[in-house]
Each structure stands twice: as structure tokens, then as C-alpha cells.
Amino acid sequence: MKLIKVMGQELKLRLSPTFIQNAACPAYLKFKYVDKVGSKWVRVEAERGKAAHEAIRELTEFCMAEKQEIAEIEDGMLREALQKYLPQRIVSEAGLVMDWLRLWRDRWKLPKNIHGVEEKIALNDEYDECEWDNASYRGIIDVNQITNDHCIITDYKSQPHIIPESELAQAFGSDIAEQFTFYAWLTWKMYPYLKTFTVRLWYLRYGFYQEASRTLEDLVLFEHALLLKEKKISEIDNWDPQPGKHCQYCEYIHLCPIAQDLSPNNPEVITQEQAVLAAQRLVVFDALSKDLKAKLKHYVNHNDNVVIGDNYVFGYHHKKSTIWDPAEAEEVLLEHNRRLSEVANVDARKMKKLIKTAAMEDPQLESALEDIAKEKHRTEFEGYRKGESEE
């Protein structure tokens, strides 16, 4: 474990995916790791994920000890495991988390080569194993499978967003991709005989996983980048906030000096200093707006859309659009000596324009295209005016 001093205060460097992500803002590091300020917000999504993780850990260890298949777990046992770890403050989320556990039970197969479940890996500066609280580098691997010199790392996520496979395949470029690279690097340092790695992102709410590989070349490059980040963190000389995308997830934004006053000091932005300050405020304001919208969305989920005045609504807005299956559209068009390129790969606007033209020139084509048209329905959480077009 390394210690750095910033303005006379000590900051312990224990590098983990969470610490590295937070390190973008010195003010956050001070609030969380120096002052140890407790968050006043209950992050429901984090609490749900933590409860699911703990329940899955207990159930996996039980099945390993009893040599029982995951699929044989009954609902009652799932409920008992969840009951132990679901905090009272999010008891209303019990049904959702229970659904995640059932999906996991029904679709996750217990491998024979499990090396660790919720395995804590803690390493010192020399990359030797050490106590968790004394570690310079540490992380928790949800499921670690090792066969000969190959390792499969599985991480459970409760997020609703399914990331593109191309993003997961990159060793760098996004927080979640780098988190997996960190886990692979940490495992490699712990077990240096490993040569190849597979990382798996298991979506708890959907019951499936995506996977990608990490090579030793990726891990060597990651180590260089990690040491560079460590060096930059050690050079922090003040606790000033640094706005950025991390503001969206900040649990201390209510303490941020930039967030205290969003009113402009000057009606004009005419200097570089004013421009930087205005940009910083916009970044923080966007984060505050996102948090307020999330709370409003939670209210609407349990009540109803919010009506503002006579004609403005904030909530779920039903929308529908017309779509065509490319294969079906191509078949119809060919029958009428037309090409798919005429509608730009079934672009809806061009398709409707073609139907309008066909109404006068080729009524049979018009009828055929309308017969294969389908409606696509969706909802978007947004503000809108009553009677606003759904198209």
C-alpha cells in the first residue's frame, strides 16, 4: 500500500477498478477515502446488485459443497438466500432481484473447474499476495475458472444497458472493458502460469452473458497504463474538483463546490476563465439533471405520469413506427422490378415515399408493401406535450 500527501492529508493508494474510476476527481478521493464521508443517497441499483451477488455466492458455494446442479435449487432456497442479504430499505425491489436469481438458476451451469467464488485478490507493490487492507492492488472476482493455463473470469452485472460486443472486446476504452482487463491482469499476477484469458459479462436481469478474450500482450500494456495512472495520482497536489463523465455517478455531488452555485456570475462569457467555469457548471448540471430524472422516473414507475399545467407531461411516452423486414421487402420489390437500394435499406421515410408514388404508378406494389408492413412499439421516458405525434 502506498501513501501520498496532498495539502498535509494522507491518501492511501489501493488501486482497484472503482478507485481508478474515482481518481479522475481529486475532490471525490478526498470525500470518500480521506474524510470518509458517508453517502446520504441510497443507490438502489447498487444495493440490488450487492444483494444478488451475495445470494449467488452463497448458493454457488452450497452447490459446490453438495455436488448439486444449480438448476436443482428450488425457489424457496433462492428466497431464503435473498432474505439474508436484501436490505430493508430496498425491500420493494425483492421481486425484481428474485427474478434475477431465477434466471441465473435456470440458465447458469455450474462448471467443474471453478477456482474461486467471490475471490478476493490482494497484492502488494511486488505483486505478492498480502492482506486485503494492506494491498496496493486488489479486486474481487465473482467466479474464477482455471483449466491448465487458461482462465475464465465471470462478473455479474445488474445494469439494464447491454454493451456492444466490440466494446467488451477492447482491452481499453471504457470503464467496463478496463475493469475486465484489470481483473485479468490481477489474476495473471496472482497466477503467473496463466497464458490466455476469457472475460464474461453475465447480465443478471436478462440471464445471458457476453464474452471476450484478453491476451498477455493486453495485460502487459495494461500494466504500463496502470503504473502511469498510479504515478499521476501520486502527483495530485490539490483537492479541486475535476468535472467529467464521472459526475454522473458521483455520490458526493451535493458537496461539490462547482454544484453549489449554477447561476452565472456574468451574463457574458468573454474570457477563457469564464468559458472554463461555464463548461464545468454545465457538466455538473448535466449530472444533477440526470439524477433528478432518475428519481422522477422511479416515482412514475410506482405511480403515474406527471402532468405539468394543462398540456405538458413528463413520463413514459408511447411511440410507434412502421418497419419492414428487409428480406420480405426485397422480395416484393423484385417482383415489381424495383431494387432495395431505392429505399436505402428499408429506410422508413423513403419506403413511405415509395408507397405514395406507387399509389399512382403501381397500386399492386403499394398494396404488397402495406401488407408486409409491421408496427414497432416502444416507450421513451421524456417530457412531451399532450397530443404530440407518436410517429
pLDDT > 90: percent of the chain: 43
Instruction: State pLDDT tens for residues 370-389.
Output: 888 877 666 666 666 766 65
Q: What is the CATH number of domain 44-228?
A: 3.90.320
pLDDT exceeds cutoff 80 at 365: yes
Which residues are within 8 A (CB) of 106 and not within 5 positions of it... i.e. 6 or more apart?
Answer: 71, 207
Pairing status of strand 306-308 against strand 208-214 = unpaired
pLDDT exceeds cutoff 70 at 342: no
Helix (H) or strand (E) holding 12: strand 9-13
Beta-carbon-side half-sphere exposure of residue 138 (alpha carbons within 13 Å): 19
Instruction: State pLDDT tens for residues 196-254.
Output: 999 999 999 888 899 999 999 999 999 999 999 999 998 999 999 888 777 767 788 77
Cα gap 34→23, rounded to integer Å:
13
Q: Is the whole model's pTM more than 0.85, yes or no?
A: no
Instruction: State pLDDT tens for residues 80-124.
Output: 999 999 999 899 899 999 999 999 999 999 988 999 999 999 999
Is 145 in contact with 115 (CB distance < 8 Å)? yes
pLDDT > 70: percent of the chain: 89
Cell numbers standing for residue 44: 438502489
Cα gap 39→255, rounded to integer Å:
10
**What is the pLDDT at residue 380?**
66
Which of 46-55, 245-254, 264-273 has the largest mean confidence? 46-55
Is 374 in contact with 323 (CB distance < 8 Å)? yes
Q: Which amino acid is present at 149?
A: D
How many residues are present in the chain? 391
**What are the extents of the domains in the chain?**
2-32+236-247, 44-228
Is 152 in contact with 198 (CB distance < 8 Å)? yes
> Would you list the DSSP string of 181-231?
HHHHHHHHHHSTT--EEEEEEEETTTTEEEEEEE-HHHHHHHHHHHHHHHH
Q: Which amino acid is present at 146?
A: I
Cα gap 124→189, rounded to integer Å:
11
- Return the number of other C-beta atoms located less than 10 Å from residue 135's C-beta: 21
Cell numbers standing for residue 309: 399545467
Of the listed ranges 46-60, 115-129, 264-278, the least confidently predicted one is 264-278
pLDDT exceeds cutoff 80 at 356: yes
> Would you list the DSSP string of 14-37?
-B-HHHHHHTT-HHHHIIIIIS-P
Angle separating helix axes 94-107 and 75-85, nearest 10 degrees? 130
CA pseudo-torsion sign 83, 86, 91, 93: negative
**What is the pLDDT at residue 56?**
97
Mean pLDDT rounded to a whole number for the chain: 86
pLDDT exceeds cutoff 80 at 319: no
pLDDT exceeds cutoff 80 at 345: no
Q: What is the mean pLDDT of residues 31-39?
A: 86
Q: What is the mean pLDDT of residues 7-26?
A: 88
Cα gap 205→156, rounded to integer Å:
10
**What is the pLDDT at residue 263?**
56
**Higher-pLDDT residue of 121, 390:** 121
